[in-house]
Amino acid sequence: MTGARRIENLALTTAGVAAAFAWVFPLYWALATSLRSEKRVVGEEAGLFPDEFNLAAYIDALFNTQIARWYFNSIGTSLIITGLVIVSGMMCAYAISQMRFPGRRLLYGIVLASFMIPAQALIVSQFILMNDLGLVNTWAGIILPQLIVPIVIIVYKQFFDAVPLEMREAVVLDGGGEYTLLFRLYLPLNWGITTALAIITFIGAWNSFLWPFLIVTTEDMMTVPVGITQVTDVFGVKYARLMAVALLAAMPVALAYLIFQRRVTEAVMISSGIKG
Amino acid sequence: MAIIGSRRRNGLIAASLVAPFVLTFALVFAYPTLEVIRLSFTDSPLIGDGEWIGLENYRNLLSDRLFYTSVSNNAYFLLLTVVPTTALALGMALLVNSLKGRWQAFVLALFFLPYILPVSVVTQIWIWITDFQFGVVQPVIALFTGEPVSVFRNPFWVMPTIAFVTIWWVNGFNVLLFIAGLRNIPPELYEAAAIDGATKRQRFFKITWPLLWPITVLVLTLQLILQLKIFDQVYLLSQGGPFNTSYVPLLLVYREAFQLNHGGYASAVALVIFVMILVVSVLQFQLLRVVGRR
């Protein structure tokens, strides 16, 4: 590498890292705020650099808000949504990809078309339906409308289509039926995409706001993203606690992303139809 | 006989495989889709029955000034977000792509991070950052205006600020799409161009830009559809105010249905938004494809 190239590289790296730090400054600032005392947060001496390691705001959040309860609701509903979406999507995609039955093309057409229907257009009728079924303020009410994730079927179908026929025939010769084929051959061959889809489905379920916000009216049934907007104080806003609560709400998805970074980016690309 | 029997058995197995999805779909998607159409022709409250009133809701919609305000606000929001985020994401993707190894992954991860956060976390953080009294960016705002601004209570600042926050939130997704696109460009093309003595500028406009066009179309389309149906961040940041300057169509659906108890009218508004989204996205897709072919 020539000297000029090396300097250019160094300049680019510096620029990139500086831009990245500037981009996440809001997150840094939320963290710095959450680790200060409420007094310092609004005081004159609060500088840009971290100057305190005070967990009071987190303790305040854990004991004086219902965040533990919201965590329970969010983890429960998000895990159930993820499990059901993946299993039902996989089964449906398998039938569409590998079996011949009347209505197969129509079904896939409907899956593709439903991809274009904005869920927001259905909030009124979905709410009326859930109310008729007595599911307002229940986990089932939160979960049901979030079970339709057409992209999972579309992605699985592509992956199942690509499995070589010879592998299938070997299982069939051994007397395996369709369910054996799906769970003993097609699923194990596609663990990678299954984890990727499961992670983004979980992140999506954890993050969903509008529907849980509509279907839940009591504080104890709220999910984390809805609940944190309810944290107020009679004596005005407590900013350190507000930021502590926000960061606690972001933690599961942020961790899921940082741990499974490659899977998440892979899943995002595949589900946008770029790779696959 | 055996063949017919096995065909029937095959059909039953297929039915059992698709049943979980199909039944859920019928209950929470297909039925509500038909229901929202029916409701839009009635004067139903949110809870309870209403009467068939034909096109009354649609007639009222045409004379609802708040509807026009909300549509024009959303159009302004599209202007402030769709092309800016696409351009910004392209720039950031080019920057990330020019980095090497571990630095590339690190910078990309930080650019992408906001995208995976819940919307309410994003809005809470920005509400604090732009706080009128204690917000850390108020000195920066004061550089331009000479004084602190309560951005979400100011008719001029409210939409640009919501647009800014939205771009910060979703931009990482667009960066990722562009990076995937850049990686799909064969490096031999650049090598050949370098041998022919092409400048950096020529390489960008003759190779990168045309080959990236399909991704650009994808990003523009996805953003257009996404920003046509904004609700969450507007509701959380400004509730549509001040003086309805950030009122958007989905907020109208929410208000009419859940606060004013007008289920029928809200359904009509929702359907009109739905049709608008469909028409705009189909039109845009066709248009960008035609432009791209030239």
Would you state the structure tokens that stand for residue B145, as one six-digit string? 């205006």
Domain range summary for chain B, segments of one domain joined by +: 63-293
Per the CB < 8 A criterion, the answer to whether A87 and A68 are in contact is no
Q: What percent of chain B has pLDDT over 90?
A: 69
* Residue A158 distance to chain B (closest CA, Å): 17
CA distance A138 to B126: 31
Number of A/B CB contacts below 8 angstroms equals 247
Q: What percent of chain A has pLDDT over 90?
A: 69
Q: Is A166 helix (H, G, I), strand (E, B) or coil?
A: helix
User: For B193-242, what is each residue's pLDDT tens digit?
Assistant: 989 888 888 989 999 999 999 889 889 988 988 999 999 999 999 999 89
Per the CB < 8 A criterion, the answer to whether A264 and A200 are in contact is yes
Is the Cβ pair B32, A254 closer than 8 Å? Answer: no
Q: What is the mean pLDDT of chain B?
A: 91
A72 Cβ contact list (under 8 Å, min separation 6): none
Name the fold adopted by B63-293. MetI-like fold (1.10.3720)
Q: Which of A104, A122, A209 sits opposite B119 (nearest CB)?
A: A209
Per the CB < 8 A criterion, the answer to whether A154 and A97 are in contact is no
CA distance B139 to A24: 19
User: For A204-256, what is each residue's pLDDT tens digit?
Assistant: 999 999 999 999 999 999 999 999 998 776 566 789 999 999 999 999 999 99
A64-271: CATH superfamily: MetI-like (1.10.3720.10)
For chain B, the straight-line distance linking the first and the last C-alpha, in angstroms and rounded, comes to 59
Q: What DSSP assignment string belongs to B62-113?
A: HT-HHHHHHHHHHHHHHHHHHHHHHHHHHHHHHHHHHS-HHHHHHHHHHHHG
Q: What is the mean pLDDT of chain A?
A: 91
Residues 125-154 of A with CB under 8 A from B: 125-129, 131, 144-145, 147-148, 153
Of B4 and B191, which is predicted with more confidence?
Answer: B191
Q: What pLDDT, on the 0 to 100 scale, is given for residue B8?
A: 83
Per the CB < 8 A criterion, the answer to whether B226 and B170 are in contact is yes
**Residues of B whose CB is below 8 A from A228:** 120-121, 124
CA distance B139 to B154: 17
Q: What pLDDT, on the 0 to 100 scale, is given for residue A276?
A: 39
What was the ipTM of the complex prediction? 0.92
Max avg pLDDT among B88-92, B210-214, B289-293 = B88-92
**Residues of B whose CB is below 8 A from A122:** 29, 32-33, 36, 270
Whole-prediction pTM value? 0.92
Q: Which of A124, A228, A247 sits opposite B36 (nearest CB)?
A: A124
Q: What is the mean pLDDT of residues B238-248?
A: 93
Is the Cβ pair B177, A272 closer than 8 Å? Answer: yes
Give backbone dihedrals phi and psi of B52, rounded to 5 degrees, phi first: -70, 120
Residues 150-189 of B with CB under 8 A from A: 168, 173, 176-177, 180-181, 184
Of the pLDDT bands very low, low, confident and very high (cuts 50, 70, 90), residue A89 is: very high
**Residues of B whose CB is below 8 A from A259:** none
Is the Cβ pair B47, A131 closer than 8 Å? Answer: yes
Please check whether residue B195 touches A, CB under 8 A: no
Is the Cβ pair A15, B96 closer than 8 Å? Answer: no
Characterise B198 by phi-psi region: left (phi > 0), alpha (psi -120 to 50), beta (else).
beta
Beta bridge partners of A233: none
Statement: residue A95 has pLDDT above 50: yes
User: For A34-71, what is each residue's pLDDT tens digit?
Assistant: 999 888 888 776 788 888 888 989 999 899 889 999 99
Please check whether residue B26 touches A, CB under 8 A: no
* Residue A194 distance to chain B (closest CA, Å): 17
Of the pLDDT bands very low, low, confident and very high (cuts 50, 70, 90), residue B91 is: very high
Cis bond before residue A188 (omega within 30° of 0): no
Domain range summary for chain A, segments of one domain joined by +: 3-59, 64-271
Please check whether residue A205 touches B, CB under 8 A: no
AA letter at A174: D
Please check whether residue A228 touches B, CB under 8 A: yes
Of the pLDDT bands very low, low, confident and very high (cuts 50, 70, 90), residue B48 is: confident
